[in-house]
């Protein structure tokens, strides 16, 4: 049991750092996209700095954290395979699969921006940043409640939270446009 708790602690630590990396990388994407619209020499100076920052965050924190969180999760399931029989765990694993897809899409965006291919607006990136938040809420509710039905209340809350975020985003956008 002591080993299980150590592995569980390490899993949680790396999940936290993984999410921190995912939250911050998209924020850096916003800054990088906005820097691209600035006049020279600010554009070149900022783009160079943001490329360095995103590289370090992505490859030194985010990717290693995602890999280590996954390794410790698999180890936990190996130590306690009965978790895989629980219906709530099946739902959680669906959200984890969505998190992997989100991470992969962030990787594609990262590669585009490193190659000066600006395919998205900063507004899109601000909304995209909420994807990890929604997944985090769903997974936390599932893990804490350990019930495949009660998590629905959490997900409804997530959607309401998302609506509030969208409204807040629109309000913030109007304030920024007035400046």
The DSSP secondary structure of 89-120, one letter per residue, reads HHHHHHHHHHHHHHHHHHHHHHHHHHTT---S
**What is the domain range of residue 169?**
2-178
Radius of gyration of the chain (CA): 19
92 marked among binding-site residues: yes
DSSP 39: P
**Distance between CA 83 and CA 54 in Å, rounded?**
36
103 marked among binding-site residues: no
The DSSP secondary structure of 135-158, one letter per residue, reads HHHHHHHHHHH--TTTHHHHHHHH
DSSP 81: G
Model pTM?
0.86
Beta carbons of 20 and 26 less than 8 angstroms apart: no
- Give the total number of structural domains in the chain: 1
* Per-residue pLDDT of the chain in tens (179 residues, 90 and over written 9): 799 999 999 999 999 999 999 999 999 999 999 999 999 999 999 999 999 999 999 999 999 999 999 999 999 999 999 999 998 899 899 999 999 999 999 999 999 999 999 999 998 998 899 889 889 988 888 888 887 666 667 667 777 877 887 788 788 778 878 87
Length of the chain: 179
């Amino acid at each position: 049991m002591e080993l299980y708790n150590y592995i569980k602690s390490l899993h949680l630590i790396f999940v936290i750092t993984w999410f921190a990396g995912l939250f911050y990388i998209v924020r850096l994407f916003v800054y990088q996209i906005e820097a691209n619209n600035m006049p020279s020499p600010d554009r070149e100076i900022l783009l160079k700095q943001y490329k360095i920052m995103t590289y370090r965050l992505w490859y030194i924190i985010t990717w290693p954290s995602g890999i280590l969180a996954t390794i410790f999760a698999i180890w936990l399931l190996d130590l306690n395979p009965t978790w895989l029989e629980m219906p709530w765990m099946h739902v959680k694993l669906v959200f984890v699969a969505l998190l992997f897809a989100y991470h992969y899409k962030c990787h594609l965006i990262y590669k585009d921006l490193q190659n000066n291919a600006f395919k998205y607006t900063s507004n899109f990136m601000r909304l995209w940043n909420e994807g990890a938040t929604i997944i985090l809420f769903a997974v936390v509710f599932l893990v804490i409640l350990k019930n495949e039905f009660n998590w629905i209340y959490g997900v409804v809350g997530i959607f309401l939270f998302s609506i509030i975020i969208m409204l807040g985003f629109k309000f913030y956008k109007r304030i920024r446009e007035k400046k």
